[in-house]
Structure 1
């Protein structure tokens, strides 16, 4: 495993911690915040639904802008700063339609931050060791997952003795700090001065002509998408089966801890030893096992045994995808590649989340068998994920 250059590693960890902590302090509490602003359930649903549409559009647009300007760090800083300013304005807005416009603008500014950060971190992590910048991407991404959890726990304590508007202030302050932290990021190694492809359609076409990239998107869409029913209905199923709230909290904590451990400790070694194809196959197989157990049992012991598989079904697959993107995606399309990686699986997950309600209503826990089937479809596709 490569030894990191401390300054480069610290600067990226700082960026990711601030960025994902800003998500952690706000994301779980936004619906309740909207409710305190006097919004009806229908208005909250409209706000969240339109937010998803805006995210799907804004991510690729901002990524193409960053690639064409070859100013990923500057676009990231501007997007985070704009999102922070809009977040500061949310507590002061009264009318629903004005609030809707400001919130959607904030979503649009916030969406590309993670893809741009990943493009920058991936570029730095694959730099030659002689440049003094080389490090494992997983270490940075693992710190982000931990920061999200810590941010959520901290926000839960803060809103216990203050108004819910405090989440907007914390969210904005962390985003503003993240924007400032981009100044500490090391300069990239070999970088193109200008993107050679000016057409967005042709740029996307250039990426989609890469067989490995297409296969990677499909594998990620199948495996990540298979989490849709779990995220939407696992707690409902466990509650119905008599699992206590304390046990449910422990089960969710297991998944998060496993995710961090895979990102930071074992994941990079497994991707090195198995290769991206082997790591992706392990993640797909783990997803099959996980959803089969969840479909067949609500016993807390059985669930406790499979919840840590989240470290494989998400973190290990993400590391494998990042390794493939670092090896196959041209530097001048780095941000666009990250945006497509977020868009494709994200769109599939959204569609599966919408359909999971109908599946769960008709099939109950047996609906998880379909999620296992989706993960099984990804297994043969993993064989083609050969790193150039």
Structure 2
């Protein structure tokens, strides 16, 4: 019987999906479980909070630097290879600490900041590559990203079970291995696609890069001189940053309501599953109603989600509220990718997306993470109302931009 070889051919969509999966399999271990590893090495809660928040805040600086640096390479994959290797080396250094006490803490701060900055810089570069490739080859760019989110769920569950067998050191080993696997996959699997189509098949990893006439600083100033771009980042930063309280304290709050750990895990999974489904099919809503409309809907439903969560709803009500993650996160992310890419001047797409990531999931998420602890101490579960206010600010900005960009005569 003849087997259809097209089933096994690595098309561009499958290549992008595989690389997204590797990146998210790594983050599926680091995001929920690295705090446990730091705690096992003697770090206090305050120290863990600083370790985790510092690279988020530093993205205001590291994001633009990475974006300018990445655009000097002629191929999309070249900076991703280097970032994955650097991230793997930094994360690996976490297990080689020869010092104790405060020196160990500051070593962890430095190594985690370097590793996290490198690995999280890959995602916006990969987003730009996928968007550009989808235009060239006419496929839906949200599909590969949905595969990444699904892989996050699988990794979260797999590492959770593995901790029972191997112990907490599995977390760092897992992340380091995935970094080097991602570096190898970026070289062997990602298409050797030129960043700029005019360079065509002559581009190589070591060839002279396409360099716009403007310097990196000039291109940053050009982007930030666009008030619509700046307000768009502000709106998305408010909507996405409002998730910080949920990420940090939802499980604690649910347990205080009498829900067991398994139920909390399923609730988290329901939110990410809704995100995956929206990334797979939400582009139809975007194509029908437009990205500005999608952004307003995301901000409005995010405000509703956190406002209702502040009432400590019973378990049966939590499930539909968790499905709103499809809008509070995924719809905002999808709309933002499209709008930022459309606003970026030619040759500055990677820079625009790294500025987007630096502000939205860096500075705003970092500040919200730092604020969430005191908010929880003061208000408990009602701290969700503070996040509702933050999302509401994003809604006001998004509504203003909608009127300006869509409804103007």
Q: Distance in 1 between matches of 2:264 and 2:316?
A: 12
Partner of 1:341: 356
Return 5+ residue gaps in structure 1 as ranges.
128-132
Q: Distance in 1 between matches of 2:29 and 2:369?
A: 24
Partner of 1:284: 299
CA spacing shift, 1:251–1:121, aligned 2, 3 Å: same
Equivalences for residues 199-348 of structure 1 within 5 A = 199-265=215-281, 267-345=282-360, 346-348=362-364
Shift of 1:142: 0.8
CA spacing shift, 1:369–1:99, aligned 2, 3 Å: closer
Question: Cα deviation per residue 1:317-343 (whole Å; 9 max; x = unaligned)?
Answer: 111111112322124112211111112
Shift of 1:306: 1.2
CA spacing shift, 1:208–1:252, aligned 2, 3 Å: same
**Are residue 381 (structure 1) and residue 400 (structure 2) matched?**
yes
CA spacing shift, 1:125–1:213, aligned 2, 3 Å: farther
CA spacing shift, 1:37–1:231, aligned 2, 3 Å: closer
Provide the secondary structure at the position in 1 that maps to 2:301: helix
CA spacing shift, 1:126–1:209, aligned 2, 3 Å: farther
Shift of 1:290: 0.9
Shift of 1:72: 3.7
233-242 vs 19-28, greater mean Cα deviation:
233-242
5-14 vs 99-108, greater mean Cα deviation:
99-108
* Count of residue correspondences: 377
Shift of 1:46: 4.3
Partner of 1:113: 122
Question: Cα deviation per residue 1:111-147 (whole Å; 9 max; x = unaligned)?
Answer: 31112111211221222xxxxx222121111111111
Q: Distance in 2 between matches of 1:374 and 1:43?
A: 26
Asked whether the 8 Å contact 2:58–2:363 carries over to 1, the reply is no
Asked whether the 8 Å contact 2:57–2:363 carries over to 1, the reply is no
Shift of 1:18: 0.6
CA spacing shift, 1:385–1:317, aligned 2, 3 Å: farther
Asked whether the 8 Å contact 1:293–1:302 carries over to 2, the reply is no
Partner of 1:130: none
CA spacing shift, 1:191–1:23, aligned 2, 3 Å: farther
CA spacing shift, 1:191–1:19, aligned 2, 3 Å: farther
**Are residue 145 (structure 1) and residue 145 (structure 2) matched?**
no
Shift of 1:75: 0.9
Provide the secondary structure at the position in 2 that maps to 1:126: helix
Q: Distance in 2 between matches of 1:367 and 1:35?
A: 25
Equivalences for residues 49-60 of structure 1 within 5 A = 49-60=53-64
Shift of 1:53: 4.1
Shift of 1:40: 4.7
Return 5+ residue gaps in structure 2 as ranges.
1-8, 200-208
**Are residue 14 (structure 1) and residue 18 (structure 2) matched?**
yes
Shift of 1:207: 1.2
**What TM-score does the superposition give when structure 1 sets the normalisation length?**
0.88
